[in-house]
A and B are shown apart, each in its own frame.
Chain A
């Protein structure tokens, strides 16, 4: 049974290449383009990803807000959330991770090995 990853990013190109990569690595990937979509998707009980890759800067609900909602939901709290951002605000990211209870972050442009490393570390 392949592990499921939910990838949320408003940049279709990023989604395209990243999803391709993850699928190649053997994960089952669901891609969504906004925070609202992600929350709707996760609201359905049959959708239980093993890890969520969440872009920080998105129109509408940004990554932080989305993460907060996920972590406030007792059913979803256990799912590891890895931020995924092109931002250089590293210190802010680290602080947010702590406060929101997220698991880790990856800075774009990422090295493929880095990304796969982290994902495999958080998926049991």
Chain B
């Protein structure tokens, strides 16, 4: 439970208990006082009324008593005994006296004078004279002394009355003469009891006769006279005093129900003479009204006290616990390490003192810990800065050293202070130490390409860099060895150890300038090229055409850019051919071939085109390139030439065939037996026909090879297989001539791309030549393998060739010895054809020979060379 709540609760309990205690005490004190006050006041009021009543009764008795002593009445009674004038005269006087007394006492309604026999002899009411009242209580009671008759209701006067009487005796003899009686109105008595002084609203005082009937009016009821029976505890208490002989007997005060049944605070006075009870009562409600009000007030206090107490308690609790809270918070904050915190409660009480002591303690603690903390912090901070510096330095040094750009630091107007390895290398120096000995001026030619003095311009550049913070420009530099190079320079201003320095980053752009120059040269070449050059994107749409394109096709570049080159299509090619074209290009090959195209004006033209893929640095295709020439004219000439050659060969061959076959038929005896001489001549004819046929074939072959119109069928083949086939066909010839035929073949030769038939043709030709020129010895075919070539050598033991003659051998119709040619039937075209074939394979053919020691005919074929088809 919080202190505040404890305080509130304790406060509440304490306050409620004390309030209740004092309230009860207070209540009873007040109650006692109120009761005493009320009973005293009631008592006083009742006593005073009782005395009034007594006085009243005394007055009645006195007035009747005085009359009874009256001589006038005595005289009359004496005179009345005898008739005579005396009686009349005394009667008159007595009557006068009675009337006078009655007038003096208005409450007395009637005086009666009775004689000794009880007969009314005189009266203020003349009508009653003569009546016998000897049995009446006046007469009976009043014969001896003054008598008071209890209150009664007079039927004659129709009102409550009280009667009183007194005896009249002879003053001389003491002889009883008669009785004087008075009827008295009770109104005076009523007046006395009805006086409300000291009785409040509900208090009443009334008289009750010995029989318990009210003889004075009730405050609340009417017509109570001798009718309202009062049988209450108060009355009964009063009756207990019957035996007492005092004038008045005062009773005790008590709480009783009155004649109406209403609870009252009441008391009484007993009047023994009349046996009357004077009862005084006041409604308890009214009597104790102040107590009730007090109870209500106390109840209200009791009920409202908790709220007030709670409010006060809360305030007290806050007032007391507030500083405690502050102190607690302070300890928490300080506990977290904030020694700068001050609790600072200004109060002069114990908590204030505690707070000040606490603050003092933390201050003290702080003083001792701060110094240590500060030291630690400073050390950590310094370490961090140093670490950062070291890291930065390492970073910078790494960048500085690893940079491909030349980076150098210079102090303006002083010179270089540092340079990275790239700088040293760029300027051709041995070391950084050497480099920084050079002045910036000595690293530039005298003039820059724009003609300004390097020294002037460099000053300007440095000034600009210092002004702007950094400056970027191009600069012609000079290496240590005098070689000039062009570079970009980024001059940046830096602050280092309080000095202003310039960092220059130099990048040699000679290469990119070379590339740029090359690009401009190439683009000019392309623009001016006599060939049609067109570039398409990967969709095949044109992105560039050179001017020649427009000249040839009639389309301007604006007309065709973005379009497909098929606008030129004439329809000479089958879909299959186009597919082959695209397959070749997609495979990364260059496609070469002819198109029959249509110009803008509809004219048809031939072009020989090379189509290839342009790739970016990553090797990804980005464009297709077509370089083409208008070959219409050449085509026309070739066509004419082809037609001519075809015609000639046809015209030559047809008769030759007939001749050859005819000779053969005759020669082999199919057309009859021949003698040996005939046969010999026919043999001559036959050999020459064969030679002529070979010559024609060779000429045509060679012509076609040279024109590039021989189709090569490149396929992967094994060179040893080629050798073997030649061996099979040539071995009989070699043997016929009595020569040895040797083979030195490599094992597992790599497959080569070749036209096998053509290579067989070459090798056959070489072996043929060897057979022709070798008279004895042997022919050796060997194969060899180099890095990327396979070599074949045909070596013979023939006469050899003079070195001067070797170059002539590959010419057409090169016959070193006409005699040999004639003898062997050689056409003189074999080596020329062989050379064409080997070169078409991107190979090489040559002869090694030492005159007199035989010859070696060698050729090499590339291993990996792939070749595009040729038309």
- In whole Å, how far is B735's beta carbon from the nearest beta carbon of chain A? 20
Count chain B CB atoms within 10 A of each CB in A21, A24, A109, A112 and give the residue with the most. Answer: A109
Kindly identify which residue among B665, B693, B711 contacts A17, using a CB–CB cutoff of 8 Å: B665
Stretch in contact with the other chain, from B105-113, B656-664, B743-751: B656-664
Q: Considering the complex, which residues of chain B in the window 648-683 have a beta carbon less than 8 Å from any beta carbon of chain A?
A: 649-650, 652-658, 660-662, 664-665, 670
Known: A88-B646, A89-B646. A109 touches B710 (CB 8 A): no
A86 adjacent to B649 (CB under 8 Å) = yes
Docked complex Cα distance between A57 and B650 (Å): 9
Docked complex Cα distance between A10 and B662 (Å): 17
- In whole Å, how far is A79's beta carbon from the nearest beta carbon of chain B? 24
Docked complex Cα distance between A91 and B705 (Å): 12
Known: A13-B655, A24-B670, A91-B711. A86 touches B650 (CB 8 A): yes
Q: Does A87 contact B (CB under 8 A)?
A: yes
CB-nearest residue of chain A relative to B660? A109
Q: Does A110 contact B (CB under 8 A)?
A: yes
Kindly identify which residue among B658, B693, B697 contacts A13, using a CB–CB cutoff of 8 Å: B658
B665 adjacent to A21 (CB under 8 Å) = yes
Q: Does A11 contact B (CB under 8 A)?
A: yes
Docked complex Cα distance between A85 and B700 (Å): 15
A11 adjacent to B700 (CB under 8 Å) = no
CB-based A-B contact count at 8 angstroms: 59
Chain A residues with CB below 8 A from B250, complex form: none
A87 adjacent to B654 (CB under 8 Å) = no
- In whole Å, how far is B642's beta carbon from the nearest beta carbon of chain A? 8
Q: Does B645 contact A (CB under 8 A)?
A: yes
Main secondary structure of the interface of B (DSSP, over half): helix
Number of interface residues of B (CB under 8 A): 26
Q: Does A18 contact B (CB under 8 A)?
A: yes
- In whole Å, how far is B116's beta carbon from the nearest beta carbon of chain A? 203
CB-nearest residue of chain B relative to A112? B664
A108 adjacent to B654 (CB under 8 Å) = yes
A11 adjacent to B654 (CB under 8 Å) = yes
- In whole Å, how far is B655's beta carbon from the nearest beta carbon of chain A? 7
Docked complex Cα distance between A85 and B649 (Å): 10
Q: Does B737 contact A (CB under 8 A)?
A: no
A86 adjacent to B654 (CB under 8 Å) = yes
- In whole Å, how far is B573's beta carbon from the nearest beta carbon of chain A? 14
Q: Does B704 contact A (CB under 8 A)?
A: yes
A interface, size bucket: 20 to 34
Q: Considering the complex, which residues of chain B in the window 693-724 have a beta carbon less than 8 Å from any beta carbon of chain A?
A: 693, 697, 700, 704, 709-711
Q: Does A123 contact B (CB under 8 A)?
A: no
- In whole Å, how far is B560's beta carbon from the nearest beta carbon of chain A? 33
B693 adjacent to A87 (CB under 8 Å) = no
Chain A residues with CB below 8 A from B664, complex form: 112
B646 adjacent to A87 (CB under 8 Å) = yes
Q: Does A122 contact B (CB under 8 A)?
A: no
Chain A residues with CB below 8 A from B662, complex form: 13, 17
Chain B residues with CB below 8 A from A57, complex form: 650
Docked complex Cα distance between A98 and B710 (Å): 18
> Can you list, as one digit per residue, whether each of A23-62 has a CB less than 8 Å from chain B (1) or not (0)?
0100000000000000000000000000000000100000
Kindly identify which residue among A14, A20, A108 contacts B665, using a CB–CB cutoff of 8 Å: A20
CB-nearest residue of chain A relative to B693? A109
A109 adjacent to B646 (CB under 8 Å) = no
Chain A residues with CB below 8 A from B689, complex form: 109
Docked complex Cα distance between A21 and B661 (Å): 8
B657 adjacent to A86 (CB under 8 Å) = yes
Known: A24-B670, A88-B704, A91-B711. A110 touches B650 (CB 8 A): no
- In whole Å, how far is B787's beta carbon from the nearest beta carbon of chain A? 34
Chain A residues with CB below 8 A from B700, complex form: 88
- In whole Å, how far is B729's beta carbon from the nearest beta carbon of chain A? 13
Chain A residues with CB below 8 A from B661, complex form: 14, 17-18, 20-21, 109, 112
Docked complex Cα distance between A57 and B646 (Å): 11
Chain B residues with CB below 8 A from A18, complex form: 661
Docked complex Cα distance between A57 and B643 (Å): 13
A14 adjacent to B657 (CB under 8 Å) = yes
Chain B residues with CB below 8 A from A85, complex form: 650
B645 adjacent to A88 (CB under 8 Å) = yes
Docked complex Cα distance between A83 and B693 (Å): 19
Chain A residues with CB below 8 A from B693, complex form: 109
Known: A20-B665, A20-B670. A108 touches B711 (CB 8 A): no
B654 adjacent to A88 (CB under 8 Å) = no
B658 adjacent to A14 (CB under 8 Å) = yes
- In whole Å, how far is A13's beta carbon from the nearest beta carbon of chain B? 4
A109 adjacent to B645 (CB under 8 Å) = no
- In whole Å, how far is A36's beta carbon from the nearest beta carbon of chain B? 21
Docked complex Cα distance between A86 and B658 (Å): 11
Docked complex Cα distance between A108 and B689 (Å): 13
Chain A residues with CB below 8 A from B697, complex form: 88
Chain B residues with CB below 8 A from A88, complex form: 645-646, 649, 697, 700, 704
Query: 7 additional contacts, CB 8 Å, given A108-B657, A112-B664?
Result: A11-B658, A17-B658, A17-B665, A86-B650, A108-B654, A109-B689, A110-B657
Please, could you name 23 A-B residue pairs with CB atoms under 8 Å apart, sorted by A? A13-B654, A13-B658, A16-B658, A17-B657, A17-B658, A17-B662, A17-B665, A18-B661, A20-B661, A21-B665, A24-B670, A85-B650, A86-B650, A86-B653, A86-B654, A86-B657, A87-B646, A109-B653, A109-B657, A109-B660, A110-B657, A112-B661, A112-B664
**What residues of chain A have their CB less than 8 Å away from a CB belonging to chain B?**
11, 13-14, 16-18, 20-21, 24, 57, 85-89, 91, 108-110, 112
5 A-B pairs closest in CB distance: A17-B661, A86-B653, A13-B658, A109-B657, A108-B657
